[in-house]
Amino acid sequence: MTVDNVPNVRTCITPLEENIRVLEQDRVGELSNKKKFNRKRKKIDVDIVIVGSGPAGMMAAITAAKQGVPSILLVDENHLIGGQLVKQSHKFFGSEEEKAGTRGIDLAVELMEQVNSVKTIQSMLKTTIIGCYNGKKNHKLIAIKRLIEGDQLIEINSKSVIFACGAMENMLAFPGNDLPGVYGAGGVQTLMNVYGVKPGKKVLMVGAGNVGLIVSYQLLQAGVNVDRVVEILPKIGGYNVHAAKLRRCGVPIYTSHSIKEVYGNGKVEGAILVAINNSFKPIPGTEQKVSCDTVCIAVGLTPSIRLLEQIGAKTEFIAEAGGHVAIHDSSMQTSVKGVYVAGDSSGIEEASTAMIEGQLAGISAATLLGYDKQADMLKKKYRKALEGFRSGPFGIKPKICKEKIACCWNGGINY
Amino acid sequence: MSDKVFICRCEDLTEEEIKQAIDEGYTTLEELKCKLRLGMGPCQGRGCLSLARRILCQKTDKTTEEITLPPSRPPVIPVSLGTLASDEK
């Protein structure tokens, strides 16, 4: 996409501003003369660098700081600290210790204040890590910081790295999937809850997992009509409470249904749905038209692992994790010494478990650097908390995922 | 009305083009990348790789596990040469 005449911009992480001009880009873009370069490069040496300031990254930073690590750098490509928490207006489930009953946005503010109050944590926003190199003594990360006076190249040398980069939304392939009005559910949530912009007037939600259900409800709260939710599986994937809330508002949920195509002249004008049989094949003759101006795709997430791959961490495809993940031990260390992973990058799960994994990674990284205050006791506590979360009926998938990861870690892939 | 199914938005690749390349014998993601620039645009394969992988699975009778992802290389976002070549300390 082209934003204000600058081509190749990732609109998903570009802050929305008044009078911003977002245009389609056809293949190679042309750089405007206005694009500035920063000729000054910067070099930073730190003890721990944390990539991603979502729940996992923030907790890792806070925990490592508590252990006494003198210099921690928290890097995030967005302009706000908090990752996906900043757009979550709903309350969390789980135990009180992991902030159940707190709204995501309140939690983001609370944790951000903690991060900002600690002198040993430096946070660097609007900064993307573009490459990672595994050195003998240090790990080297190359970052690009987006400044008003132009992008700046920053070289970060760190003894330890924690990757808490989260996940990417899955897309679907159907005719018309590039029409304006086809959104990822996360994108819709950002537009609505961060910027106060309605994505459209009438929405078709694809996917009845927690994201699909929660975003549908939040659309209703914002005064947007949600026509229906369709789910390809014969069963609703998300929590019953979320589904029940939607049903009480009169939004039907069609299980065993999928989207066949989206039609419209230059923008979404409607969609064609189709019923799905037991072997996930469309049933001919069951097509039905739905008129809508927005199609919202909430069909799962894929862990972001490209930086982990670059630094040399071993990855493995695990279906329950949502795709390829970096395999790690019970202290969240990857196959590269001093490189840790936490949160959705280590398998798609929830904010609460991401926070605990962040704490675990923070303790482990601090321990490696010699700051091992009560480390064993704390690690035990966090592992127990994770076990608790994964023992419920919705914990089965992450539990299997982590068992498979443990199995890979131990050298076997024949789970 | 758009009847095309887009797989790689950055490089404007459709399902049909990918299927055709597979029929021509490009049967790994790496080969498709070399042939079609799949996943080489500004987003560096964030959405398209798993969609293309699914097509590969169907067309070549492989499981998802059997298909390797192309290696990740820096830079993961577009960076202007001016920035990369910055030299002032």
Question: In B, which residues are within 8 Å of A153 by CB distance?
Answer: 79, 83-84, 86
Say if the Cβ atoms of A317 and B4 lie within 8 Å.
Answer: no
- The upper half-sphere exposure of residue B4, i.e. CA atoms within 13 Å in the direction of its Cβ, equals 14
pLDDT digits (tens, 9 = 90+) for A30-49: 777 666 677 789 999 999 99
Domains recognised in chain A with CATH numbers: 42-168+302-409 (3.50.50.60), 171-299 (3.50.50.60)
With tokens 């070289």, the residue in question is: A155
* Residue A233 to chain B, least CA–CA distance (Å): 18
Using CB atoms, which residue from B50, B74, B88 is nearest to A39?
Answer: B88
> According to the model, what pLDDT value does residue B42 have?
86
Question: Can you tell me the distance from the alpha carbon of B6 to that of B18, in angstroms, rounded to the nearest whole number?
Answer: 10
> According to the model, what pLDDT value does residue B14 have?
96
Percent of the residues in chain A that have a pLDDT greater than 90, as a whole number: 81
A270-278 mean pLDDT:
97
Q: Is B63 on the interface with A (CB under 8 A)?
A: no
Q: Are B79 and A144 within 8 A, CB to CB?
A: yes
Closest to A176 in 3D by CA, of A51, A56, A35, A294: A294
pLDDT digits (tens, 9 = 90+) for A114-162: 999 999 999 999 999 999 998 878 999 999 999 888 899 999 999 999 9
A221-238 mean pLDDT:
96
Closest to A415 in 3D by CA, of A405, A404, A406: A404
pLDDT digits (tens, 9 = 90+) for A91-122: 877 666 666 788 999 999 999 999 999 999 99
Question: Can you tell me the distance from the alpha carbon of A211 to that of A58, in angstroms, rounded to the nearest whole number?
Answer: 22
3-state secondary structure of A390: coil
Q: Pairing relation of β-strands A202-206 and A339-341?
A: unpaired
Which CATH number covers residue B19?
Answer: 1.10.10.1100
Does B30 reside within a domain? yes
Question: Residues with Cβ < 8 Å from A191, sequence gap 6 or more?
Answer: A16, A197, A198, A199
Closest to B53 in 3D by CA, of B77, B33, B76: B33
3-state secondary structure of A144: strand
Distance separating the N- and C-terminal Cα atoms of chain B: 53
Say if the Cβ atoms of A306 and B76 lie within 8 Å.
Answer: yes
Q: Where are the alpha helices (DSSP H) in A222-301?
A: 240-248
**B3: how many CB neighbours lie within 10 A of its CB?**
9
* Residue B16 to chain A, least CA–CA distance (Å): 11
Domain count, chain B: 1
pLDDT digits (tens, 9 = 90+) for A45-70: 999 999 999 999 999 999 999 999 99
pLDDT digits (tens, 9 = 90+) for A354-381: 999 999 999 999 999 999 999 999 999 9
* Residue in B with minimal Cα distance to A263: B1
Question: In A, which residues are within 8 Å of B71 by CB distance?
Answer: 309
Q: Got the DSSP string for A290-341?
A: EE-SEEEE---EEE--HHHHHHT--EEEEGGGTEEEE---TT-B-SSTTEEE
Q: Is B17 on the interface with A (CB under 8 A)?
A: no
Using CB atoms, which residue from A142, A178, A317 is nearest to B6?
Answer: A178
Question: Can you tell me the distance from the alpha carbon of A332 to that of A364, in angstroms, rounded to the nearest whole number?
Answer: 8
Q: At what angle do helices B15-23 and B48-60 cross, to 10 degrees?
A: 40
Residue to mutate among B4, B56, B64, B80, with most A CBs inside 10 A, is B80
Say if the Cβ atoms of A307 and B1 lie within 8 Å.
Answer: no
* Residue in B with minimal Cα distance to A178: B6
**Cis-peptide into A180, omega within 30 deg:** no
Question: In A, which residues are within 8 Å of B5 by CB distance?
Answer: 173-175, 177
Find the length of chain B: 89
pLDDT digits (tens, 9 = 90+) for A289-345: 999 999 999 999 999 999 999 999 999 999 999 999 999 999 999 999 999 999 999
Question: Can you tell me the distance from the alpha carbon of B42 to that of A53, in angstroms, rounded to the nearest whole number?
Answer: 23
* Residue in B with minimal Cα distance to A27: B11
Q: What is the mean pLDDT of chain A?
A: 92
Percent of the residues in chain B that have a pLDDT greater than 90, as a whole number: 69
Q: Is B84 on the interface with A (CB under 8 A)?
A: yes
> According to the model, what pLDDT value does residue A49 have?
98
- Give residue B62's domain range: 6-84
CA A356-A44-A331 angle, 5° bins: 25
Say if the Cβ atoms of A35 and B74 lie within 8 Å.
Answer: no
Question: Residues with Cβ < 8 Å from B3, sequence gap 6 or more?
Answer: A175, A176, A261
Does B1 reside within a domain? no
Question: Can you tell me the distance from the alpha carbon of A248 to that of A161, in angstroms, rounded to the nearest whole number?
Answer: 46
- pLDDT band at A415; cut points 50, 70, 90: very low
- pLDDT band at B5; cut points 50, 70, 90: very high
- pLDDT band at A397; cut points 50, 70, 90: very high
Between A184 and A393, name the one with better pLDDT: A184
CA B25-B31-B33 angle, 5° bins: 130
Q: What is the ipTM of this complex?
A: 0.93
Look up residue A16 and give its DSSP letter: P
Q: Are A384 and A95 within 8 A, CB to CB?
A: no
With tokens 């972001």, the residue in question is: A304
A9-18 mean pLDDT:
83
